[in-house]
Structure 1
Amino acid sequence: MDRLSHYERFGFTRAGRILTATIRAPGPVNAVDARLHEELATLFTDLARDEDSDLIVLTGEGRAFSAGGDFAWFEEQVRDPRTFRAIAPDARRIVQTLLDCDKPIICRLNGAAAGLGATIALLCDVIIADERAVIGDPHVKVGLVAGDGGAIIWPQLIGFARAKEYLLTGDLLTGAEAARIGLVNHAVPADQLDAKVAEVAERILANPRWAVRWTKVITNQPLKALVAQMMDSSLAHEMLSNLAADRAEAVAAMREKRKPRLSGE
């Protein structure tokens, strides 16, 4: 496991040919901070190169999968927009390398997934959620464009009308509702989550390795084409939104647990 030994924000366990990567960020909801963002940009390449696994399970530690961005990091980005500009290459790499990984990835959605956390979950190949977990992309609520891949993947899963409603409102939905509309594959009670993940993993691993991997490769080709078409513009618009006055106000209001006083600027 030498390739994975340097990770600070992930823990790794093995069961046969299944490798589980668990998000372990500081705080109760595994929020994305600078270190986690940096590690996500290399994680999926390292998982793809791991010779001892054929299937990846991606999950979160504790009560959340990854519930959005760290607010101290947000405030740093508002104070110094150069820090936001600097993460754009890694933001692109996260999405590209996740889709490039030819091993099947099951998302074990154990709890809240928001913003980039939701994007990562939804870019996995099979998403199995705790029915009480919540998922959504509330970028707009913190004054940002949903530029990290959310505007790409949500319409592919639930259609443009539904996707735009959720992306423009920033509303969250439960795992059960997400399964009902086709955003995730399955939603089960919490005490059945591990069994369902194991069942789906076993069914995938029962098939010839390269047939599975290469089927994933060709199925992801349209998504990769969309990423190539949209990602640069998505990130550019997200960086522009970080400069807006309402971005700073939205972050401050969230931090202070009050309604934002938006100016329209």
Structure 2
Amino acid sequence: MLDESRYEALKFTRNGRVLTVSINLPDKANAVTHQLHVEMSRVFDDVADDAGSDIIVLTGEGKVFCAGGDMNWLAGELENGLAPFIVEGRVMKRIVSSLLDCPKPVIAKVNGDAMGFGATIALLCDVVFAAEGARFADPHVKVGLVAGDGGALIWPALIGYGKARHYLLSGDPIEATEAERLGLIAFAVPGDQLDEEVASYARRMARGAQSAIRYTKIAANIGLREKLTSVLEASIAFEGLSRHTDDYREGVMSFVEKRRPTFTGF
């Protein structure tokens, strides 16, 4: 069984063969801290080996699925000196690869906004349900960063390059109903129906032929997994480079100081 004591930023609940993994930092709007990053890099391997579950639901505690990067964490890194990005890059790659490799279906229950890393991790899930009004965005560029955590991999795969490049290059949000229309997510449902819709779908999946479902998931993800050594690795490398620009420092500090950034292109 899953050793839940290894986790602080994630919590787990069970309902039969359905295991729900919740980002459990509601006081931070489930923003991505260093602790959450590390835990996300191992949780999908752990749930894959969990003998007590067949279906995984990923959600966020509170009113937000995940607000993206914790700007205070990023500002602290800038103040204390950036560590070599190779360690963080390996963590980012493990998160994406372990989610795609997890043989169990992973259902995203997006209960509120999914930003940056939050959008990427939700969209990499096998089936995405979102509450109407929830927004998805990859706003890395708005703080001077390259979208290196998988956004450049998954957005074009889901909605094509034309639309995906717009959302990645602008950082603009897309509301759940429009996201469903474009094919970015599977289902947008009224917020008060989200829990039951996901629970019903998960129960249906749990009654299915698990070997057939798992092998089908693995087959469907082959194309994405092949891009890990090209698109994802390049994206991670470019993000590492962008962390050393003046624009990145300006993007982070302007956010922390609650002012409009002034980018110079350097």
The TM-score by the shorter chain falls in which range?
A: over 0.9
Match of residue 75 from structure 2: 75
Task: Provide the residue aligned with 1:91 in structure 2.
Answer: 92
Instruction: Report the Cα offset of residue 28 of structure 1.
Output: 3.7
Query: 1:215 and 1:86 mapped to 2: Cα distance?
Result: 32
Pair 1:93–1:229, CA change in 2 (3 A): same
Structure 1 residues 131 and 26: CA distance shift in structure 2, 3 A:
closer
Does the aligned pair in 2 maintain the 1:103–1:213 contact within 8 Å? yes
Distance 1:43 1:60 in 2: 15
- TM alignment of 1:234-245, pairs within 5 A: 234-245=235-246
Residue 193 of structure 1 corresponds to which residue in structure 2? Answer: 194
Q: What residue is the counterpart of 1:207 in the other structure?
A: 208
Q: Over residues 211-237 of structure 1, what are the superposed CA-to-partner deviations in whole Å (9 max), with x where a residue is unaligned? A: 001110111111100112222211110
Q: CA RMSD in A?
A: 1.2
Counterpart CA distance in 1 for 2:241 and 2:232 is 14
Across the two proteins, how many residue pairs are aligned to each other? 265
C-alpha displacement of 1:4 = 2.4
Question: Any idea what the Cα deviations from partners look like across 1:202-257, whole Å, max 9, x if unmatched?
Answer: 33223211000111011111110011222221111001000000110111111122
2:154 & 2:2 partners in 1: Cα distance? Answer: 32
Q: What pairs up with 1:13-28 in 2 under 5 angstroms?
A: 13-25=13-25, 27-28=27-28
The amino acid that maps onto 1:185 is: A
Q: Is the 8 A contact 1:41 1:91 kept in 2?
A: yes
Cα offset, 1:134, TM superposition = 1.1
Match for residue 261 of structure 1? Answer: 262
d(CA) in 2 for partners of 1:179 and 1:113? 14
Change in Cα spacing, 1:60 to 1:83, as seen in structure 2 (3 Å) is: farther
Gap change, CA 1:212 and 1:178, over 3 Å in 2: same
2:42 corresponds to = 42
What amino acid is aligned across from residue 193 of structure 1 in structure 2? L
Distance 1:220 1:252 in 2: 38
Alpha-carbon distance, 1:2 to partner: 4.8
Quick one: distance in 2 between partners of 1:200 and 1:86? 37
Amino acid paired to 1:164: R
Amino acid at match of 1:103: K
> Runs of 5+ in structure 1 lacking a partner?
none
Q: SS in structure 2 opposite 1:87?
A: helix
Unmatched tracts of structure 2, length 5 or more: none
What does residue 216 of structure 1 align with? Answer: 217
* TM value normalised by structure 1: 0.97
For residue 119 of structure 1, what is the aligned residue in structure 2? 120
Q: Which runs of 4+ in 1 moved over 3 A?
A: none
Do the aligned partners of 1:29 and 1:112 also contact (CA within 8 Å) in 2?
no
User: 1-side partners of 2:262 and 2:5: how far apart?
Assistant: 45
* More displaced 10-residue stretch of structure 1: 204-213 or 98-107: 204-213
Q: Distance in 1 between matches of 2:149 and 2:163?
A: 19
Moved more, 165-174 or 225-234: 225-234
Which residue identity lines up with residue 208 of structure 2 in the other structure? N
Structure 2 equivalent of residue 5 of structure 1: 5
Residues 128-147 of structure 1: pairs in structure 2 closer than 5 A = 128-147=129-148
Q: How far off is 1:86 after superposition? A: 2.7
Q: 1:168 aligns to what?
A: 169
- What's 1:177 paired with? 178
TM-score (norm 2): 0.96
Write out per-residue CA displacement over residues 1-58 of structure 1, whole angstroms, 9 at most, x where no aligned residue.
Answer: 5522220011111101000001012634100000000000000000100001000000
Q: Does the Cα contact within 8 Å between 2:100 and 2:124 map onto a contact in 1?
A: yes
Q: Supply the distance in 2 between the matched residues of 1:246 and 1:229 (Cα, whole angstroms).
A: 26
| Secondary structure of the corresponding residue to residue 82 of structure 1 | coil
